[in-house]
Amino acid sequence: MSKNEKKRLLTESRIRNKMTLENFTNEIKKEEKVMPLVTTKKMFEKSMKEHFAIGAFNVNNMEIIQGIVDAAAEENSPVILQASSSAIKYARIGYLKKMVEAALEEHDIPIALHLDHGPDFETCKMCIDHGFSSVMIDGSKYDFEENVALTKKVVDYAHARGVVVEAELGKLAGIEDDVNVEAADAMYTDPDQAKEFVERTGCDSLAIAIGTSHGAYKFKGEAKLRFDILQKVKEKLPNTPIVLHGASTVIPELVEMCNKYGGNIPGAKGVPDEMLHEASKLGVSKINVDTDLRLAMTAEIRKALTEEPSKFDPRGYLTPAREAVKRTVQHKIRDVFGSSNQA
């Protein structure tokens, strides 16, 4: 029987049985075997047991969402789609939610929808109320006590509604060569504080600062991460999923391609794949990637527009851009994070 025929029969039985629209929609979803949005709970449990990491990829539009989920589905991997508050402002929350629902209808893998860097309680509440399955409250800009209080407030609201919460302790700002050792140490996450923070807030996962930073300029010289801090945090919090922000590789070929076709991104540098792989083995459960997807899209768009200046159909340049997002995500899932076949 076709999906449409089933829908017709269900509609008839809905009218006969005076079923509510909500129950009816659930019946259809069950019938069509649509995977519901999931929280990160189960995927993190598995990642901690089997020492792999889940990719959390930032989404802003349809092409990015499709590129990511197509790659994750092909790898049979769980995946986290995350939207920052500026992504929500750009794409609008309803559109993001519906596009993720469309992805769930198409693919049979665990997908979590997460708010990235929630700046305040209200933004977290808005996302929870709109059906996100996970939120981050980023209180890292506040002092310890304020961060605890704000995180706890979000945790209480989220947990009462079945939503999980990521929090952050430590400062992620780029640790440059000219920052003195004492100042740099103050930015890293303190493992003892991390334990106290998780116990007092009840957060479900914790983002820590071990030397990564956002954007395309992470290191002036050689890439360095404080794996010793990660190990100490894991010793204190063996059952808490740890999150690594600012974890793009800033893939050199993509930077080169952007520059070749008119871009100007000199000296960009990220976290090498080997270090991310090491982090996943040492207990990092979630690895955040945005910059690499931006580079992948932009490189392809620049190339297409440069090589075919007479063309102006957006599908002409967005198709290779979406493919590039897919290739980039697939490489990370398969070759770096190790989450293939863990769906």
Note the residues at the interface with ligand 13P (CB under 6 A).
58, 116-117, 214-215, 245-248, 288-291
58 interacts with ligand G3H by CB under 6 A: yes
Q: Which does 234 bind (CB under 5 to 8 A by kind): ligand 13P, Zn ion, ligand G3H, none?
A: none
Q: What is the secondary structure of 34-102 as a DSSP string?
A: PPPP--SHHHHHHHHHHT--EEEEE--SHHHHHHHHHHHHHTT--EEEEEEHHHHHHH-HHHHHHHHHH
Which residues, numbered 205-264, are part of the site for Zn ion (CB under 5 A)? 245
Residue closer to ligand 13P (CB basis): 254 or 304 = 254
Largest CA distance in the chain: 74
Q: Are 82 and 288 in contact (CB under 8 A)?
A: yes
How far is Cα 55 from Cα 70, in angstroms, rounded to an integer? 14
Nearest of 43, 340, 321, 28 to residue 204 by alpha carbon: 43
Q: Which of 70, 116, 190, 204 is catalytic?
A: 116
Q: Which amino acid is residue 158, in one-letter code?
A: A
313 is catalytic: no
Query: Please, what sign has the CA dihedral across residues 149, 155, 158, 159?
Result: negative
Q: Are 173 and 221 in contact (CB under 8 A)?
A: no
Minimum gap (Å) between residue 245 Cβ and Zn ion: 3
How far is Cα 49 from Cα 234, in angstroms, rounded to an integer? 13
Minimum gap (Å) between residue 142 Cβ and ligand 13P: 18
Minimum gap (Å) between residue 83 Cβ and ligand G3H: 8
How far is Cα 64 from Cα 323, in angstroms, rounded to an integer? 9
> Strands 284-289, 242-244: parallel, antiparallel or unpaired by DSSP?
parallel
Residue closer to ligand G3H (CB basis): 109 or 207 = 207
Residue closer to Zn ion (CB basis): 322 or 328 = 328
Which residues, numbered 80-119, are part of the site for ligand G3H (CB under 6 A)? 84, 86-87, 116-117
306 interacts with ligand G3H by CB under 6 A: no
290 interacts with ligand G3H by CB under 6 A: yes
Q: Which does 114 bind (CB under 5 to 8 A by kind): ligand 13P, ligand G3H, Zn ion, none?
A: none
Minimum gap (Å) between residue 90 Cβ and ligand G3H: 8
Q: Which does 248 bind (CB under 5 to 8 A by kind): Zn ion, ligand G3H, ligand 13P, none?
A: ligand 13P
Show the tokens assigned to 74: 């092909």
* Coil, helix or strand at residue 130: coil
Q: Which stretch binds ligand G3H (CB under 6 A): 2-10, 79-87, 128-136, 304-312?
A: 79-87
- Can you tell me which of 195, 214, 236, 269 binds ligand G3H, judged by CB under 6 A? 214
Q: Are 292 and 328 in contact (CB under 8 A)?
A: yes
Q: Which amino acid is residue 87, in one-letter code?
A: A
Q: Name the site residues for ligand G3H (rule: CB under 6 A).
A: 58, 84, 86-87, 116-117, 214, 290
Q: Name the site residues for Zn ion (rule: CB under 5 A).
A: 245, 288
- Enumerate the active-site residues: 116
